[in-house]
Amino acid sequence: MSVVRLYWGSLGRQWRGGLVLLGCSVLESVPAFLSGRLVALAVDRGFAAGAPLTGVLWLLVFALVAVLGALGSRLVWRQLGMVIEPIRDALVTAVVGGVLRNGATSRNAPDASGVARITQHVEVIRDATAGLLVQARGMLVTTVAALAGLFTVAGGLAWLVAIPVLTALTLFACLLPALAARQRAVAIADERTAEVAGGVLVGMRDVVACGAEQTAGMAVFEAVDDQARAAVRMAQATAMRTLVIAVGGFSPLVLVLLNAPGMVAAGELTAGAALGSLVYLATTMQPALQGLASTASTVVLRLLVAVRRLSEVAGEPPAPGGDAEPVGASISVRGLTFGWGEHAEPVVRGLDLDLVPGDHLAVVGPSGIGKSTLAGLLTGQLEPQDGQVRLGGVPVRSVRAATVHRMVALIPQEAYVFAGTVRENLALLAPEATDERLYEAACAVGAGDLVDALGGLYGEIGHGAEGLSAGQAQLLGLARVYASRAEVIILDEATAHLDPAAEAHAERAFAARGGILVVIAHRLSSALRANRLLVMDGDHTLLGTHEGLIASSARYAAMMAAWKPARVQAS
Ligand SMILES: Nc1ncnc2c1ncn2[C@@H]1O[C@H](COP(=O)(O)OP(=O)(O)OP(=O)(O)O)[C@@H](O)[C@H]1O
């Protein structure tokens, strides 16, 4: 969708209204055209000719003409709404409708902030177009009418005015691209600040729970600093623009003042014509040019920038994820390869793996070998360099993010517990769950006593999970996922802070819950409970069962042998 074409198209459809507007403009411009001439007549035929009454009469005509012009302005305003509102309606309908149809369907939820941004840009376009039709049109009509009037009153002086005015306008046009770029930078910086501040506000609970207040604050400060820098650069460009227009507006006045006395003395100009020229300059053209500098140009820039930003925002690609619908909760991995960086040694290399509901896979291997990386790949958070992960038969990264979140739960080592009731914490992934269901889930993973000790489901948890040990926080995290509808559960050392007995209890509970369970093992005992095993050891990734691998893999047998004495010692 081309917003520019859409804009010009809807503007073009208002041509009838535009013609009426032009008619009103002619009426509005009559005072500008006649002002100098009427003053010249008042002076030459009245005050300078010794007939002050005649002079006053001409000035009264001037007053009447001004009233006529005001009538024209009134008609312009009335006509304006009829031209502008249909353009706004057409833009909103086309752009927002397009975004909702094309973008939101592939997103987790309707992108309210995106629609809000778009309507905000449309409002700017509407206001700017209205501003242009009122101010730029008014300025143009006034300048042309005044110049034409000046040529009729004092043709000799008119060139002294026309040349600097046209030069200033040309210079101003040359400055416009730089001005537009800076105005655009301001718009982007504004949006960025709103986005960062909005994100922090919406995620305030998470920010506080994770103790990330300082990081979040820094992000907002940086955005505000960028915004301030963009505003300063814009102000510098605006000052330059004002200078150009001021020179273009004032130099004709100086030239006329310098030349008019000589021309009057030589009989080339009457005193009234000289005064009339000054009236054209001082009361019409110069204010019109100032208006161009202070408002009309800003309006043009705002319009250019808003149209461009609207094109960009409306054309933004949908958020990661797509529309694919998984069928069932199987996982199929083929030729999976991933390294942290283009030239880095792959952490996962050519992995093939199939998991179906009922599978309980333990992933073992030394620290830093790539187990968490594999979890990121299975959940679609990381994009493989080669190969594919399929969830329910479709590439996991093409599944709508909300669907992945519903189907797959990844529990990390650091449990996320926030200030609120125990219930709020447990129901995070299952807001519809009843109290009974949540309590059952807690009991199933071994967190029943903990919930009781915290005062039941409605007991309060303080900021930063105050008073909870790391193991207790992990138990609450486990209960939360147990209560959810997730069909694939990945425990990434999620029981590391539990004692071996509690860990065994939790793992067994998840294995009995159904679906796919992947345990990234903190202790090798997890391997003994799983029905399948993935041993990661750099180039040697092995898949099998405990018994099979003990027999076939010297490496796994050695790992087990090294672990068992340690276990015996510990016990
Ligand atoms: N975000 C990242 N950017 C760059 N390298 C990373 C990133 N995350 C992990 N790595 C690197 O990838 C390798 C595998 O890390 P990963 O966390 O997957 O290992 P792991 O087996 O889970 O380790 P552990 O058992 O200690 O948690 C490590 O060398 C690690 O430094």
For residue 284, the 8-state DSSP code is I
Cα dist from 36 to 132, 292, 548, whole Å: 26, 21, 104
367 Cβ below 6 A of ligand 1: yes
> Cβ contacts of residue 11 below 8 Å, gap of 6+?
87, 129
pLDDT of residue 130: 87
Total Cβ atoms within 10 A of residue 85: 13
Residue 513 identity (one-letter amino acid): R
What would you measure as the largest C-alpha separation in the chain, in angstroms?
Answer: 126
Residue nearest atom 12 in ligand 1 by C-alpha distance = 370
- Amino acid sitting at position 113: S
pTM of the model: 0.56
Q: How many CB atoms lie within 10 A of CB 393?
A: 12
Alpha carbon of 353 to those of 102, 115, 383, 511: distances in Å?
A: 35, 41, 17, 19
Nearest-angstrom CA–CA distance, 311 and 319: 17
Dihedral pair phi/psi, residue 562, rounded to 5°: -70, -30
Q: How far is the CA of 148 from the centre of ligand 1 (A)?
A: 76
Q: Is 408 in the pocket of ligand 1 (CB under 6 A)?
A: no
- The tokens of 412 are what? 């990390």
Please give the structure tokens belonging to residue 271: 């005193």
| Ligand 1 atom closest to 370 (CA) | 18
How far does residue 370's CA lie from ligand 1's centre (Å)? 5
CB 129 within 8 A of CB 303: yes
- At 318 the three-state DSSP class reads coil
With both helix axes pointing from N to C terminus, report the angle between 271-279 and 15-41 in degrees, rounded to the nearest 10.
150
With left for phi above 0 and alpha for psi between -120 and 50, is residue 464 left, alpha or beta? left
Pocket probe for ligand 1: among 371, 378, 492, the residue whose CB has the most ligand atoms within 8 Å is 371
> What residue owns the CA closest to ligand 1's atom 5?
340
pLDDT (0 to 100) of residue 110? 46
Distance of CA 374 from the midpoint of ligand 1 (Å):
10
Query: Could you give the C-alpha distances from 248 to 230, 290, 296, 340, in angstroms and in order?
Result: 27, 9, 16, 59
> Please, what are the averages of pLDDT over each run of 10 residues along the chain (571 residues)?
76 86 88 93 93 95 94 88 86 72 45 66 86 81 88 87 85 82 86 89 81 89 95 89 80 89 89 91 84 71 78 58 81 93 86 94 90 94 92 92 91 88 93 94 96 94 83 95 96 92 95 95 89 86 89 84 61 43
pLDDT score of 108? 41
C-beta 214 within 6 A of ligand 1? no
Sheet holding 348-355, edge to edge: 348-355, 331-338, 386-391, 394-395
Pick the CATH number of 3-314 from 2.60.40.10, 1.20.1560.10, 1.10.357.10, 1.10.8.350: 1.20.1560.10
Among 33, 30, 29, 51, smallest CA distance to 42 is for 51
Atom of ligand 1 nearest to the CA of 369: 21
Nearest atom, ligand 1, residue 493 CA:
27
Is 429 in a helix, a strand, or coil? coil
| Rounded CA separation 298/187 (Å) | 13
Tell me the backbone φ, ψ of residue 368, rounded to 5 degrees.
80, 10
Collapsed DSSP state (helix, strand, coil) of residue 498: coil
CB–CB of 375/331 below 8 Å? no
Taking alpha carbons only, the member of 212, 206, 211, 75 closest to residue 134 is 75
Distance from Cα 367 to the centre of ligand 1, integer Å:
8
Q: Which are the contacts of 152, defined by CB distance < 8 A and separation ≥ 6?
A: 37
Q: Ligand 1, atom 26: nearest CA belongs to which residue?
A: 367
CA of 87 to the centre of ligand 1 (A): 54
User: Ligand 1 pocket, 371 CB below 6 A?
Assistant: yes
pLDDT for 103 equals 47
Is 331-570 a CATH 3.40.50.300 domain?
yes
> How far is CA 410 from each of CA 99, 266, 328, rounded to the nearest angstrom?
31, 94, 18
Calculate how far, in angstroms, residue 532's C-alpha sits from the geometric centre of ligand 1: 23
CA 212/CA 217 separation, integer angstroms: 8
Q: Where in the chain is the domain with CATH 3.40.50.300?
A: 331-570
* Residue with CA at minimum distance from ligand 1 atom 2: 340
For residue 547, with 0-12 CB atoms within 10 Å meaning exposed, 13-18 middle and 19 or more buried, which class applies?
Answer: exposed
* Of 345, 373, 519, best ligand 1 pocket probe by most atoms within 8 Å of the beta carbon: 373
Q: Which atom of ligand 1 is nearest to the CA of 341?
A: 4
Q: What is the DSSP string of 342-377?
A: TTSPPSEEEEEEEE-TT-EEEEE--TTSSHHHHHHH
Cβ of residue 369 lying under 6 Å from some atom of ligand 1:
yes
Per-residue three-class SS string for 159-220 = HHHHHHHHHHHHHHHHHHHHHHHHHHHHHHHHHHHHHHHHHHHHCHHHHHHCCCHHHHHHHH
Mutation test residue for ligand 1: of 372, 491, 524, the one with most atoms within 8 Å of CB:
372
Give 328's DSSP letter: S
Q: State the pairing for strand pair 516-520/532-535.
A: unpaired
Supply the angle between the helices 52-102 and 112-131 in degrees, to the nearest 10: 160
Single-letter residue type at 9: G
Query: Could you give the angle at which helices 435-445 and 500-513 cross, rounded to 10 degrees?
Result: 130
CA neighbor of 396 nearest in space, from 375, 417, 421, 412: 375
SS3 of 241-268: the string is HHHHHHHHHHHHHHHHHHHHHHHHHCCC
Q: Where in the chain is the domain with CATH 1.20.1560.10?
A: 3-314
How far is the C-alpha of 406 from the C-alpha of 487, rounded, in Å? 8
> What spacing in Å lies between the alpha carbon of 27 and ligand 1's midpoint?
75
| One-letter amino acid of 143 | T
Residue that is written with structure tokens 């009829």 in the block? 82
Rounded to whole angstroms, how far apart are CA atoms 510 and 515?
9
